[in-house]
Amino acid sequence: MHSAWYMDLTAVLDGLLDGVMVFDAQGKLTAINKTGLRILSAQCLEELLERKPPVARDEEGTPIPPDCSPVARALRGEQVVHQLELLDGQKGPRVVLRARATPIRDQAGAIIGVVKTLTDVTYEHALERLKEDFIRVAAHELKTPVTLIRANAEATSNSLPDLPTSARQLLDALVRGADRIDRLVSSLLDLLELQGGLLSLSCRRVRLDQILAEVVSQLPRAAAARIRIPESPPVEVFGDARRLRQVTRALLDNAIKFSALRTPIEVTLARDERSVHLKVRDHGFGIPARAREHIFEKFFRAHSGTPQDTCGIGVGLFVAREIVRQHGGSIGFESVEREGTVFDVELPLGKRA
Ligand SMILES: Nc1ncnc2c1ncn2[C@@H]1O[C@H](COP(=O)(O)OP(=O)(O)OP(=O)(O)O)[C@@H](O)[C@H]1O
Ligand SMILES: [Mg+2]
């Protein structure tokens, strides 16, 4: 009975598409399934024969020190859920693996080994790099012509004071279009920067009320006319003015896009002992309940394919949340479908503000 069960388990493990390895309390390999053998034997046959965990590299290609390996971490009691490893020997093509490791405990709770799983993500990883390279090249290639279009449209408009209104409107539309592409390109470059870790911030004391006024003044006239800002005393935080402008712009853009023309948008700034709140409230379409948990994910657009679908690539909120997080703050929202949405950005006052 027992051996039949054991045979079934071996067959199941061998049938898995993930590599499964079991290590004892000393970190020695005691069992490996067929996929594990196939993945590892091309690069690390010697280590396998010696029953040692293969030496892996991190995403940058630096060897992972033995005490930071998923097996060592799991032997210390950690549940390792995601670690990318490169196996980069001379014997075969480079393999990118996603490793997970879980401690195995006896009934008393003592760690007696580790089970590690390996998923071959070489293809997905290569695709991701390709996507990033494409975005980087396309974004840089777009920057120069867009800057040229904007500069020329502005120069023409400024140098010809007697232009007929229709021609001036045309030039204004060119400037706005160029601005839109420029913001899009910047968002894509931000995404790439975030992929590598953090955005670069240059923080100092900044007036949030002034930032808000500046952002509103750069909106198209019809959109700016919808924005209501109650009087507030000066609100200062310690932050990166350009990045906070970007957050404010992203929230206002959304409030404008996802609500009917002419409905008001209320923006308030409030300060308590520890933090500042920037709230943007619209009376628009709202965010569908099933979409709410995804709203800050990159490229997620809740209204795509619906009559409320407008322009955008779904990175505004993703980048805004990262900026706010890097300021030590948080961003949240409440939304009721067909009634409206309020986004709330909380920024800490901190000692420096
Ligand atoms: N105020 C809002 N009201 C309703 N839906 C919203 C609101 N703000 C955001 N959303 C939903 O969240 C999605 C993601 O917003 P996000 O700003 O990240 O992307 P986007 O506006 O589509 O594109 P962009 O990258 O140009 O900002 C939107 O596509 C929209 O479906
Ligand atoms: Mg947006």
Q: Is 333 in the pocket of ligand 1 (CB under 6 A)?
A: no
User: Of 140, 131, 102, 87, whose CA–CA distance to 23 is shortest?
Assistant: 102
In this predicted structure, what is the pLDDT of residue 352?
53
330, two tokens? 């948080």
Nearest CA to ligand 1 atom 13: 301
In this predicted structure, what is the pLDDT of residue 21?
92
In this predicted structure, what is the pLDDT of residue 194?
87
**pLDDT tens for each residue of 114-133:** 999 999 898 998 898 898 89
Q: Is 313 in the pocket of ligand 1 (CB under 6 A)?
A: yes
CA dihedral over 147, 152, 153, 159, signed as positive or negative: positive
**For residues 12 and 14, what is the distance between their CA atoms, to the nearest angstrom?**
5
Q: Is 177 in the pocket of ligand 1 (CB under 6 A)?
A: no
In this predicted structure, what is the pLDDT of residue 353?
44
Rg value, the chain, Cα: 27
In this predicted structure, what is the pLDDT of residue 81?
82
| Gap from CA of 331 to ligand 1 centroid (Å) | 14
In this predicted structure, what is the pLDDT of residue 42?
67
Alpha helices in the chain (DSSP H): 2-15, 34-49, 70-75, 122-159, 165-195, 208-217, 221-224, 241-257, 316-326
**For residues 59 and 181, what is the distance between their CA atoms, to the nearest angstrom?**
32
| Gap from CA of 217 to ligand 2 centroid (Å) | 18
Cβ–Cβ under 8 Å, residues 42 and 91: yes
The residue whose CB lies within 8 Å of the most ligand 1 atoms, and thus the one to mutate among 258, 319, 342, is: 258
Q: Which stretches of the chain drop beneath a pLDDT of 50?
A: 1, 353
Q: Is 317 in the pocket of ligand 1 (CB under 6 A)?
A: yes
Q: For the range 251-254, what are the long-range contacts, defined as Cβ-Cβ under 8 Å and sequence gap of 24 or more?
A: 251/278, 251/280, 251/320, 251/343, 251/345, 252/215, 252/216, 252/219, 252/223, 252/227, 252/280, 253/316, 254/282, 254/316, 254/317, 254/343
**pLDDT tens for each residue of 61-110:** 778 888 888 899 999 999 988 777 777 655 556 788 888 999 999 999 99
**For residues 28 and 23, what is the distance between their CA atoms, to the nearest angstrom?**
5
In this predicted structure, what is the pLDDT of residue 2?
55
88, two tokens? 């980069």
Which position has the token pair 């470059």? 189
The residue whose CB lies within 8 Å of the most ligand 1 atoms, and thus the one to mutate among 317, 333, 337, 339, is: 317
User: Of 38, 44, 52, whose CA–CA distance to 88 is shortest?
Assistant: 44
